[in-house]
A and B are shown apart, each in its own frame.
Chain A
Amino acid sequence: MSGFNKVVNSYEDALEGLQDGMTVIAGGFGLCGIAENLIAEIKRKGTKELTIVSNNCGVDGFGLGVLLEDRQIKKMVSSYVGENQMFMDQLLDGSLEVELTPQGTLAEKMRAGGAGIPAFFTATGYGTAVGEGKEVKQFHGRNYILEESITGDFAIIKAWKADRYGNAIYRDTAMNFNPMAATAGKITVMEVEEIVEPGELEPCNIHTPGIYVDRLIQGTFEKRIEQRTLRAV
């Protein structure tokens, strides 16, 4: 068996080593492109005190929202939350902490974290609550704040297809945060709709090269739609 084979046989194996208090970076935007089965496995495992870095926190009963049911999340780092009542309840009773982070800054924190860049300057958030307490520096007459990058103990990723080496492609807007999140985990676990043989995906079309992927598993997905909007025909 090739040392590059990333395929694991069960969701239990996929999240082996995930412990209480760890930081998990999760791809996805709303319910689009989320690692549904890995989230379900975290719930089954019962890991607690987690810090979750994800643009959103799912909805009641689906996506990351299910981790609120047994109070497994200690802290969320997100740009937009509160689509779920349980989230708001736990926020208000003080058991859940939220670090609101501008969406572009969040994406860049993951990208930088995965690229070995410890921090970066950005104009986003300067002069707002986000910039409070952060170092400010002027470049070309404009003020920027210093934002630290993010890495996680685990990253949980949903892609469309990957070969056994972990070379992966995403489908449509289910890409979103997944490529950056994939680079920022000490252990990156990816679930896909289809595992193919190396060579079946064009090398020039790969979105996430296999070097970032530690464990790969094929799953089946519900792909729940958050806002079903249609046009009249």
Chain B
Amino acid sequence: MALTRDQMAQRVAGELQDGFYVNLGIGIPTLVANFINDDINVMLQSENGLLGMGPFPTEDEIDADMINAGKQTVTAVTGASIFSSAESFAMIRGGHVDLTVLGAFEVDTKGNIASYMIPGKLVKGMGGAMDLVAGADNIIVMMTHASKSGASKLLTQCTLPLTGAKCIRKVLTELAYLEIKDGKFHLLERAPGVSVDEIAELTEGELVIPDHVPEMQL
């Protein structure tokens, strides 16, 4: 079975380590926060200037001056810090954030990512995504493997305008966990009950399949 959005978030949460500073992009990546293991401490970075983002506020706690990068009202955890946008992007662009998780429309075997613009459709902007992909070493892209009509989003060459060039190494889809290396996708894990053939069928870019592909542990 393909993973649900929550299961995808659960799998990515498994990559978090105690003491990690993590930036979660808007959309599915935000769900990762719901699955952080109680045994570890993680600080969530919000690029509008908050390190140590907490849960949404209660009615009593709500404060117009406390928002996240999605412009949602949030709280700060104990030990949080607040700073300017320049400081925030110094953290991001200077490579200080341990893990960045973001969504995408397409990725390719060169590690390119397209995530902010579909020509002919509404262009709202890249926000902080170009900074995040250029600044981070450790990035996990969470995305659907193919379009509803079955067109692969894991390509030899991205067709949409790029958010970043040669910067992506890890991709989690509802079907598989993959690494991009040496100009190829390498299949690391498959979703429980999903066959290697199903994954290969929906992967347009060159795919390296090892003899044994373990099922994801959720």
List residues of chain B with CB within 8 A of the CB of A30: 48, 67, 71
Pair B84/A79 contact, Cβ less than 8 Å: no
Partner of B130 from A33, A102, A172, A175 at Cβ < 8 Å: A102
Instruction: Give the number of residue pairs across the A-B interface with Cβ within 8 Å.
Output: 170
Among B83, B86, B134, contact of A122 (Cβ-Cβ < 8 Å): B134
Residues of B near A32 (CB, < 8 A) are: 48, 64-65, 67, 71
For B50, the chain A residues whose CB sits under 8 A away are: 173
Categorize the interface residue count of chain B: 35 or more
Chain A: which residue is nearest B92 at the CB level?
A104
How many angstroms between the C-alpha atoms of A171 and B50 in the bound complex?
12
Residues of B124-154 at the interface with A, using a CB-CB cut-off of 8 Å, are 124-131, 134-135
User: Hey, what's the 0/1 contact readout for A134-150 against B, CB within 8 Å counting as 1?
Assistant: 00000000000000000
Binds B, one of A44-52, A177-185, A195-203, A212-220: A177-185
Chain B residue nearest to A183 in the complex (CB):
B86
* A175 nearest CB across to chain B (Å): 5
B62: which of A80, A124, A225 is its contact (CB, 8 Å)?
A: A225
Query: Which of A3-11, A65-73, A125-133 lines the interface with chain B?
Result: A125-133
Contact between chains at A224 and B64 (CB < 8 Å): yes
Instruction: Give 7 nearest A-B pairs by CB, closest first.
Output: A127-B165, A104-B89, A104-B131, A223-B64, A80-B125, A30-B71, A102-B130
Q: Which A residues have a C-beta under 8 Å from some C-beta of B?
A: 29-33, 55, 78-82, 88, 100, 102-108, 110-111, 122-130, 160, 171-180, 207, 223-231, 233
* Partner-A contacts on B (CB < 8 A): 46-50, 55-59, 62-68, 70-74, 76, 82-86, 88-89, 92-93, 112, 117, 122-131, 134-135, 161-166
CB<8 Å pairs between A and B, sample of 6: A102-B128, A105-B131, A127-B165, A128-B163, A160-B65, A231-B55
